[in-house]
Structure 1
Amino acid sequence: MSGSRIDYEAVFRAFPGPVALLTTDLVYAEVNEAFLSRTRRTRDQLIGRYLFDVFPDNPDDPGASGMRNLGASLRRVAATGERDTMALQRYDVEDPTRPGTWEERYWSPVNTPVFGPDGEVALLLHRVEEVTELIRARGGAGAADGDRARVLEAELYSRALELQEVNERLRRSHDREHEVALSLQAAMLPAPGPLERRGAAVRYRPAVGALNVCGDWYDLAELPGERIAVAVGDVVGHGLAAAGVMGQLRSALSAASRVADGPAPALEVLGLYARSVDGAESSTVFLAFIDCVGQTVTYSSAGHPPAVLVHPDASVQFLDGATDPPLGARPEHVARPEATIAFTTGSNLVLYTDGLIERRDEDIDTGLQRLAGSLARHHGADPEGLADAVLADLIPVGGATDDTALIVIAL
């Protein structure tokens, strides 16, 4: 068919299954030959007519609900723009040659939206599979084994359609949660503004699979007196709940860092606050205050992997001298430790979350050594180049199984 135009109208008419196109007002716009054959109607009896004028519910059966169910499905598709696979339905059809005579019929309908150029639902594609004969053969006294097998096949087919629809609805629900969570996370983790006389690079890599949204976060802010506060943290869990907790902790620590005398007091405030936030228990945080004039880094860790100071001579130093348990791990408040280390011009400070170094099949020390080796090899790069090089070295080709946040600051 290369170079030729496909005649989709001919494809529609030749489709072997019964298919109809309806307007959003449930008026027949087009039907294929299989639909006419199955319903024993002519085009003139269908096109331009309201669905339930042509196929009303059987007035002699007060319990008839097939047409009402179909109507509800079609209107739901028109309103939501989402496909609906209906369960097996019974609705009787009036014999066009014998008015007042109704035939018991069984159908498995699938209703799909057709969008117009404006993105709105323009038409409804109504596809049906009729299984009346198979249902009639349901285990009758003289039914042959082949008939019973076909009955079982029809029932299994119907259940498969129902399961398919359940799975589709779950997928759409997950997709919506994924989209909301990503938007929420993007709003909570904006790109950092330029730091005065300092270069900084931030990278965030979602985990592979599931919602691809967890609770990793970072914060970077300038403080009075030519100081910089930089933090990175990790909330236990995934999805919207973790993203919500992450946002609360990040905001609280950002505020505390602006008024606290150092990182340890700021983490103490955050720890007290975390006790009132559901899901914040066991969250980890590393917070550092960079004094650009005194050329020192003062830091404190609440159960988080240590930051790394990369010296101009390519030596690396893990900042593990002030490590304490995660937030909420202690039943009572205890002052957190704090440590200070000097740096020289040309150094880089690197903060990260555990997705960068942890692997399920190895000890964490292996990951830390891998990080140290990468930083030493690329120590001469600027923050942007160093961040990209580290991710290339440490993130598996297929992606990490946990979120990864990475911050590199030129000192």
Structure 2
Amino acid sequence: MAEPRIDYAAVFRALPGMVALLTPELVYVDANDDFLRLAGRSREQLLNRYIFDVFPENPNDPAAAGMQETKESMLRAAATGERDTMALLRYDIEDPEHPGHWDEHYWSPVNAPVHGPDGKVSLIVHRVEEVTELIRAFGGPDGDRRARVLEAELYTRARELKEVNERLRQAHAREREVALALQAAMLPDPRPLEHHKAAVRYRPAIGALNVCGDWYDLVELPGKSLAVAVGDVVGHGLAAACAMGQLRSALSAATRVADGPAQALEALDMYARSVDGAESTTAATTFIDWEDHSITYSCAGHPPPALLHPDGSVVFLDGATDPPLAARPRFAPRPQARTEFAEGAVLVLYTDGLVERRTEDIDAGLSRLAASLAAHCHAAPEELADALLADLLPRPGNTDDTALIVLRL
């Protein structure tokens, strides 16, 4: 007997209760029929709009806190990758047919993350239990007494939930502090590189636990050569930071004895198979030969390094791209490619937090990077690094870590 084909879009629309899907930036991407009906909004009024543009706080209620509490809960779910259950809250909704008239609603929301193939939170499921009628039902005979009992019970439960959430927040904050301290210890400022100037930047993601496993490294090699690398461990928190430390150290050691970047990544690939949490780590490494003005490079599932020529043109070094570390079922040799550079060119290595956005193709982010590099092509490395972060990172803060190296060649 053939398995029935399930129309999951139809299932979602028919789900009982209010359910909506939002991006980690809190923009609606879908909502089921009950959500539209009970919220009094059409699909067109919701989709591709910021949640609090659709449902602002009641300006006539100075004590209203539903918007802030809902926003904090959703951002916690996006940052921690864990479900966040809210206490019962009042959230008034403006009648779209009668502007200025606000209907009283009581909701019990749950915000749950949906993880994408890369392990990062790609969507927030916002499920709401509409309990307005239940609250109003206590307005009949003996309504005042029963309402007071219910109010006391709800207050007690809300206070308990708030205390639990506060303890979780403090635990998450401590873990973030430890992870950031580990990353700071593993990512020191580079030592002087004779006549070549380098700038490095690390920007942790917003959110209590969203610190990730990004790293950078610069290694001086025998003969007039330099190796520059960046990498990104999948996942968040202390575990990702610990895996990052191990992989960075291993690549730094392998680079010193390898014949080239491909061989260094091959050694790192074999090592990553024995490190918990290292699967699917991405990395890019470059060997710079100052005498013949050449860059040899290899990428393991990582965004390509950018080479800014003195005339302001930009090329991406994408001629030697291979799958992430430990992603293949068995070991295989990795490719490498070589390109020449003119004196005064700039090499830029970065992690995906600089260019990737969940709502667009990565080519859009790479185009923004190329445009920013061209616009600031004559800036010194320190100024150029700051300009790239200012131009490319989202204003409210990035939802993924960002590591960046800018090296004047």
TM over 0.5: yes
Does 2:183 align with 1:189? Answer: no
1:330-376 CA distances to partner (integer Å, 9 max, x unpaired)? Answer: 11111100111111111111101111111111111111111111111
1:51-90 CA distances to partner (integer Å, 9 max, x unpaired)? Answer: xxxxxxxxxxxxxxxxxxxxxxxxxxxxxxxxxxxxxxxx
Does 2:265 align with 1:245? Answer: no
Partner Cα separation in structure 1 for residue 230 and residue 298 of structure 2: 11
Does 2:253 align with 1:216? Answer: no
Does 2:369 align with 1:371? Answer: yes
Secondary structure of the residue aligned to 2:191 is coil
Secondary structure of the residue aligned to 1:237 is coil
Q: Give, as a single letter, the amino acid of the residue that structure 2 aligns with 1:409.
A: L
The aligned counterpart of 1:78 is none
Question: Residue 358 of structure 1: which of 350, 356, 363 is its match?
Answer: 356
Q: Give, as a single letter, the amino acid of the residue that structure 2 aligns with 1:298.
A: T
Partner Cα separation in structure 1 for residue 159 and residue 398 of structure 2: 35
Q: 1:385 to 1:148 in 2, by over 3 A?
A: closer
Partner Cα separation in structure 2 for residue 221 and residue 149 of structure 1: 69
The aligned counterpart of 2:253 is 255
Measure how far apart 1:149 and its partner are.
4.3
Question: Residue 345 of structure 1: which of 335, 343, 346 is its match?
Answer: 343
The aligned counterpart of 2:394 is 396
Question: Residue 385 of structure 1: which of 383, 386, 391 is its match?
Answer: 383
Partner Cα separation in structure 1 for residue 342 and residue 348 of structure 2: 15
Measure how far apart 1:231 and its partner are.
0.4
Checking the alignment, whether the CA contact within 8 Å between 2:347 and 2:407 is kept in structure 1 is yes
Please tell me the root mean square deviation across aligned C-alpha atoms, in Å.
1.6
The aligned counterpart of 1:279 is 277
Measure how far apart 1:146 and its partner are.
4.8
1:310-348 CA distances to partner (integer Å, 9 max, x unpaired)? Answer: 111111111011111100111111110011111111111
Does 2:348 align with 1:318? Answer: no
Query: Which runs of 5 or more residues in structure 1 are unaligned?
Result: 1-143
Secondary structure of the residue aligned to 2:235 is strand
Q: TM-score, normalised by structure 1?
A: 0.63
After TM superposition, the structure 1 = structure 2 runs for residues 71-90 of structure 1, keeping only pairs within 5 Å, are none
The aligned counterpart of 1:155 is 153
Does 2:298 align with 1:300? Answer: yes
Measure how far apart 1:210 and its partner are.
3.5
Partner Cα separation in structure 1 for residue 231 and residue 204 of structure 2: 14
Checking the alignment, whether the CA contact within 8 Å between 2:263 and 2:334 is kept in structure 1 is yes
Does 2:152 align with 1:175? Answer: no
Q: 1:398 to 1:146 in 2, by over 3 A?
A: closer
Measure how far apart 1:161 and its partner are.
2.6
Question: Residue 268 of structure 1: which of 256, 262, 266 is its match?
Answer: 266
Q: Give, as a single letter, the amino acid of the residue that structure 2 aligns with 1:219.
A: D
- Computing the radius of gyration from Cα coordinates, the structure with the larger value is 1
Measure how far apart 1:380 and its partner are.
1.0
Secondary structure of the residue aligned to 1:252 is helix
The aligned counterpart of 2:118 is none
The aligned counterpart of 1:90 is none
Q: 1:384 to 1:156 in 2, by over 3 A?
A: same
1:99-139 CA distances to partner (integer Å, 9 max, x unpaired)? Answer: xxxxxxxxxxxxxxxxxxxxxxxxxxxxxxxxxxxxxxxxx
Higher mean C-alpha deviation, range 211-220 or range 343-352: 211-220
The aligned counterpart of 1:119 is none
Q: 1:259 to 1:159 in 2, by over 3 A?
A: same
Partner Cα separation in structure 2 for residue 390 and residue 176 of structure 1: 30
The aligned counterpart of 2:226 is 228
Q: Give, as a single letter, the amino acid of the residue that structure 1 aligns with 2:368.
A: R
Partner Cα separation in structure 2 for residue 192 and residue 177 of structure 1: 26
After TM superposition, the structure 1 = structure 2 runs for residues 106-125 of structure 1, keeping only pairs within 5 Å, are none
Partner Cα separation in structure 2 for residue 222 and residue 404 of structure 1: 23
Measure how far apart 1:147 and its partner are.
4.5
Query: Identity, % of aligned pairs?
Result: 72
Measure how far apart 1:291 and its partner are.
0.8
Measure how far apart 1:276 and its partner are.
0.6
Q: Give, as a single letter, the amino acid of the residue that structure 2 aligns with 1:229.
A: A
Query: Which runs of 5 or more residues in structure 2 are unaligned?
Result: 1-141
Partner Cα separation in structure 1 for residue 382 and residue 347 of structure 2: 13
Q: Give, as a single letter, the amino acid of the residue that structure 2 aligns with 1:242.
A: A
Partner Cα separation in structure 2 for residue 366 and residue 156 of structure 1: 48
Secondary structure of the residue aligned to 2:199 is strand
Measure how far apart 1:154 and its partner are.
3.1
The aligned counterpart of 1:20 is none
Q: Give, as a single letter, the amino acid of the residue that structure 2 aligns with 1:398.
A: P
Partner Cα separation in structure 2 for residue 149 and residue 345 of structure 1: 78
Measure how far apart 1:177 and its partner are.
0.8
Measure how far apart 1:148 and its partner are.
4.8
Secondary structure of the residue aligned to 2:297 is strand
1:206-246 CA distances to partner (integer Å, 9 max, x unpaired)? Answer: 11224241111111121111111110011111111111111
Partner Cα separation in structure 2 for residue 363 and residue 169 of structure 1: 38
Measure how far apart 1:156 and its partner are.
3.0
Q: Give, as a single letter, the amino acid of the residue that structure 2 aligns with 1:245.
A: A
Partner Cα separation in structure 1 for residue 144 and residue 357 of structure 2: 55
Q: Give, as a single letter, the amino acid of the residue that structure 2 aligns with 1:294.
A: D
The aligned counterpart of 1:134 is none
Count of matched residue pairs: 269
Q: Give, as a single letter, the amino acid of the residue that structure 1 aligns with 2:301.
A: G
Q: Give, as a single letter, the amino acid of the residue that structure 2 aligns with 1:266.
A: A
Measure how far apart 1:166 and its partner are.
1.1
